[in-house]
Amino acid sequence: MAAKAATSTIPIVFTGVADPLGAGLVESLGRPGANVTGMSAQASDIVGKQLQILQEFVPRDKAVAVLLNPDTPFSASALQQLRIATQAGPTALVVFEARTADQVSAGFEAAVKAGTAGLLLLEDPLTIGLRRQVAELAARLRLPTIYTLRDFPEVGGLISYGIDLRQMNRRAAEHVDKILKGAKPADLPVEQPTKFELVINLRSAKALRLQVPDKLLALADEVIE
């Protein structure tokens, strides 16, 4: 956003922006319309899949917590998708908001006090920066938590399912190459994610006394032992 505000002529290529349209970075995904284009991290069905994975560890008739930053554009659409995913089933959602580090800790503790069986984290720059503390907090509170980015299980989180950022960054580099060869950002469509990955931390599962289903282990792109 700062780069877009600073120039209307220098090409800008972003990567991993959850909702570039909602954030006002582009006029449309098909035709960005100005000097900004890149890779969207938005996939409408990803949070529903995350909920399904989390339910492999917790009872389906127990409530699940959702922790989000309401100021992040992607949060509203993701929460809507989660509500749709739970309409036909017994799982209730309990939503907690966090705009600061203290509120992140308070959100986890409130989720435990509310009796939720697990937590789905809708990451934003704040929680990504606090990923080690977040993983340690989830472990201390014994709250099974699923994340979008592999950065979390890499530092002790239980499990993540989301876009493959490495593949996305390579695609962003191809956009840069096209621009350097004369293409206009306004004419380069914003690309949606096409590759996803499942990462499981077995050490964390054992610490939480959780049995990882064989079918998840078979689907995992990486298992941390």
Each residue of 35-78: pLDDT tens digit? 999 998 766 678 999 999 999 999 988 999 999 999 987 888 88
Predicted local distance difference test score (pLDDT) of residue 82? 92
Please tell me the distance from the alpha carbon of residue 198 to that of residue 221, in angstroms, as a whole number: 5
CATH class of 46-162+208-224: alpha beta
CB 94 within 8 A of CB 63: yes
CATH number of 2-42+164-196: 3.40.50.2300
Predicted local distance difference test score (pLDDT) of residue 43? 66
Look-up of token digits 């799982």? 91
Name the stretches of the chain with pLDDT < 50.
Answer: none
Instruction: CATH 3.40.50.2300 in the chain: give the residue spans.
Output: 2-42+164-196, 46-162+208-224
* Conformational region of residue 104, where left means phi above 0, alpha means psi within -120 to 50, and beta covers everything else: alpha
